[in-house]
């Protein structure tokens, strides 16, 4: 696994954790921002052939 793949996976893990925290805190703006980041990271992974769980 390359450094790029590891970085994408780490950033996704952080974004998903932050999303859960934002939702728990009722922070809709942060939740929306993190959702957009997750979508961007998943698109980037797909563009580079990095397999991710659904």
**Are 34 and 18 in contact, with CB atoms under 8 Å apart?**
yes
Q: Report the predicted TM-score, pTM, of the whole model to 2 decimal places.
A: 0.90
Domain boundaries, the chain: 3-47
pLDDT digits (tens, 9 = 90+) for 6-42: 999 999 999 999 999 999 999 999 999 999 999 999 9
- Give yes or no for residue 53 having a pLDDT over 70: yes
Quote the CA–CA distance of 12 and 51 in Å, as a whole number.
Answer: 13
pLDDT surpassing 90 at residue 1: no
């Amino acid at each position: 696994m390359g450094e790029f793949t590891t970085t994408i996976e780490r950033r996704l893990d952080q974004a998903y954790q932050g999303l859960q925290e934002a939702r728990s805190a009722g922070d809709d703006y942060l939740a929306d921002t993190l959702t957009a980041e997750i979508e961007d990271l998943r698109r980037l992974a797909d563009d580079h052939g990095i397999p991710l769980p659904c």
